[in-house]
Amino acid sequence: MFFPQLTLPLIAGMTPEEHEVSICEEVGGEKVDFDGDYDMIGISLMTQTSIRGYEIANEFRKRDKVVIFGGIHASVRPQEASMFGDAVCIGEMNIQLWKKILDDVRYRRIQPFYQLECRPDLRFEPIPRRDLIKCKSGRFTVAPIETSRGCPYKCDFCSVSEYFGTKQRHKSVRAVIEEAEKCDEKVLLFVDDNITFNKVYAKELFRELAPLKKTWIGQSSINVTKDEELMQLAHKSGCRALLIGFESFTEDAAQKYRKTLKSLDDNIQAVKSLRDNGILTWAAIIYGLDTDTEASFDLSREFIQKSKVGFFQPTNITPYPGTVLYNKLREEGRILTDDWSKFDTWHITVEPKKMSADKMREEFNKFRLEIFNTRSILNRALPNASLGFMEALAYFTVNRALNQQQRNCAAMPVQRNRADVPVDFDVTKYVKPVVQQPVLV
């Protein structure tokens, strides 16, 4: 199971009809056709996929193809990405910039870097090429859709505010509804980082969405539980589950990350409030924060037991480049590896402040096997499964998949460079660039 992506279909939606576009997603099991008759290769990079992206670029450059990088990792490490491609797109894209890039490729005047002077106005954003979106995700079929970009919270571990800005920008409600109407899929996935941040916009969107009789899932902050009308409208519009970043239940973390719900009991009640309004909670928790100790896992156990939360997503703190956290931990010498492929929230890549990395590994592995076992799933089942047939189906299907995933996974490792390999963030230790000038066609 993986979430379908919008980035490349959106770029395809900006591409003039004279160009033929195809998309390959390895995460979905597709194979890259290195010998295909392509004039230009576009590769979107996240940190954990960047080394593989560079490997793919090398193979195409060996075949004299033009390679252009984009995505969040390329945007925060443009000099690194430029070693493996002909150009790097920094930040977001719009139609005008994409047309310039296509013209520059055609007329052999490629620039090393491309970047907009200001963030694009989403009211004029084109519709993604929905025929190119891979909506099948394991046993589920979901259609990704976007209403906004940007996040005002500026959490030190998150790169969203750096990449998309701290001011939330929106598409018009009418444009979102028209796009949703064109989706054949019955289930929508809103990819916004916080779909309920602007309550006025969210309420208007939910009222307009309700007549479509779609089911949807999305992401929100816990602040949604402070507005009863907002929760009711969300459910009436088809919302059945929300991913919410609780991050941590320690008082210090609540203060640091400006969480409006400070106590464990408040967060437990918030989960129950969402469930009372027919919405399941997918709780995301980060471990290894500077405020965390071994007791943090006990707080999580208590939260799960008392809230009966529908789904749970435990992750390890990961110092993504471009974040405040990365700069801080790099300066303190607490990043254990510079192998970007391990920056996936699963591997432990930093030395925590209040416990050793090895102790964290021990506690985390014990914790994950507890919370994803059959007993835990059954213990939380009744209040969630009683919401309805579809909710019960989703609860047991997703949790069973999580159970199998955890049983099949090896114990979470601590990822350290070997003693003779410095943590200097030189990616060429892991993949060497192909130095070759392409022949433009």
The encoded tokens of residue 6 equal 């919008």
Q: Do residues 144 and 173 touch, judged by C-beta distance below 8 A?
A: no
Sheet holding 143-145, edge to edge: 143-145, 187-190, 215-220, 239-247, 280-287, 311-316
Q: At what angle do helices 199-209 and 228-236 cross, to 10 degrees?
A: 30
- The pairing of beta strand 136-137 with beta strand 140-141: antiparallel
Give the integer Cα–Cα distance in Å for 40 and 8: 14
The encoded tokens of residue 66 equal 């033009």
Give residue 441's pLDDT band: very low, low, confident or very high (50, 70, 90). Answer: very low
The domain defined by 135-408 folds into pyruvate-formate lyase- activating enzyme (3.80.30)
Domain with CATH 3.80.30.20 in the chain: 135-408
**Which of 59 and 154 is assigned the larger pLDDT?**
59
Which among 395, 364, 171 is positioned nearest to 278, based on CA atoms? Answer: 395
pLDDT digits (tens, 9 = 90+) for 119-133: 999 998 899 999 998
pLDDT at 303 over 90: yes
Q: Do residues 102 and 15 touch, judged by C-beta distance below 8 A?
A: yes
In 10 A of CB 132, how many CB atoms? 15
Give residue 28's pLDDT band: very low, low, confident or very high (50, 70, 90). Answer: confident
pLDDT at 100 over 90: yes
In 10 A of CB 406, how many CB atoms? 17
Give the integer Cα–Cα distance in Å for 111 and 103: 11
pLDDT at 438 over 50: no
Give the integer Cα–Cα distance in Å for 416 and 427: 15
Q: Do residues 43 and 5 touch, judged by C-beta distance below 8 A?
A: no
Domain with CATH 3.40.50.280 in the chain: 7-121
Give residue 262's pLDDT band: very low, low, confident or very high (50, 70, 90). Answer: low
Mean pLDDT of 1-14: 86
Per-residue buried b or exposed e for 8-24, using 16+ beta carbons within 10 Å of the residue's own CB: bbbbbbbbeeeeeeebe
Give the integer Cα–Cα distance in Å for 117 and 8: 21
Mean pLDDT of 277-281: 97
pLDDT digits (tens, 9 = 90+) for 169-220: 999 999 999 999 999 999 999 999 999 999 999 999 999 999 999 999 999 9
Q: Do residues 199 and 227 touch, judged by C-beta distance below 8 A?
A: yes
pLDDT digits (tens, 9 = 90+) for 342-352: 999 989 999 99
Give residue 257's pLDDT band: very low, low, confident or very high (50, 70, 90). Answer: low
Task: Note the residue count of the chain.
Answer: 441
Give the integer Cα–Cα distance in Å for 196 and 397: 26
- At residue 116, what are phi and psi to the nearest 5 degrees? -70, 150
Which among 290, 286, 296 is positioned nearest to 363, based on CA atoms? Answer: 296
Architecture of domain 7-121: 3-Layer(aba) Sandwich (3.40)
Helix ranges (H only) for 89-216 are 95-106, 160-164, 173-181, 199-209
pLDDT at 439 over 60: no
Mean pLDDT of the chain, nearest integer: 92
Q: Cα angle vertex 250, ends 385, 415, to 5°?
A: 85
